[in-house]
Amino acid sequence: MDIVILLGAPGSGKGTIASRLAETNANLKHVSSGDLLRGAVAKGTAAGVEAKGYMEKGQLVPDALIAQMIKDVIAETEGDVTMLLDGFPRNVAQAEILAETGAPVRSVVLVDVPDEIIQDRIAGRRTCPKCKAGYHVRALPPKVEGICDKCGAELVVRKDDNPETVKDRLVVYHRETEPLIAFYEAKGLLRKIDGDQGPAKNAEAFLAAM
């Protein structure tokens, strides 16, 4: 098992890239910290109850809470698998916790998209609450409007995808997560792709870079 970290702002397309690649490559496993947390919130676990308020405000949940979830997934992942880690680490403290687990990080790929494009992307984002598939009303529409291609559930707008919360999430990204670029650059692990080439080409560029 080894790990490839996807680094990028909310709405940069990390999740779309990782889920596309995991669908077509049996040895790639997509692990999204946001999906793990939303799952915990939906189930009403103790971690979910604690995380909910932070998530609705676009703030980061406490490091120990999300780190434990990621450690559990790492512990249960064996064999010839590359984990595409999407949304974790989100700050330097989390990167240090990940390093302490000893799990080998193969590379860190920055999905680069300017903030102006991000706002528009998130405004059009639709998500399947059941199977977690992601869509965009223009760039990646489902075959039938408002319905998930994969499982037929009704698509929703994520609560934290409203313009106000998106602004807060971008502030948090620049303040907390962007320092990871220098952190991983110093370790010689950082690669960068242009995340504005459309879903298929973004995924191709990512696969070549990782």
Stretch that binds ligand AMP, among 1-9, 52-60, 144-152, 192-200 (CB under 6 A): 52-60
Query: What single-letter amino acid sits at 15?
Result: G
Is-catalytic flag, 20? no
The reply to whether 87 sits near ligand AMP by the rule CB under 6 A is: yes
Q: Does 160 bind ligand AMP (CB under 6 A)?
A: yes
Q: Which position among 4, 31, 37, 97 is part of the footprint of ligand AMP (CB under 6 A)? A: 37
| Candidate residues 13, 82, 84, 90; the one interacting with ligand AMP per rule CB under 6 A | 90
Tell which residue, 179, 174, 21, has the closest CA to residue 95.
179
Active site residue 175: no
Torsion of Cα atoms, 87 then 89 then 92 then 93, to 10°: 120
158: annotated active-site residue = yes
Separation in Å, CA 107 to CA 6, 9, 141, 187, 203: 9, 18, 31, 10, 15
List phi, psi (to 5°) of 61: -75, 160
Return the active site residues.
Answer: 14, 90, 125, 158, 169
Q: Catalog residues that contact ligand AMP under the rule CB under 6 A.
A: 10, 33-34, 37, 54-55, 58-61, 66, 87-88, 90, 94, 160, 169
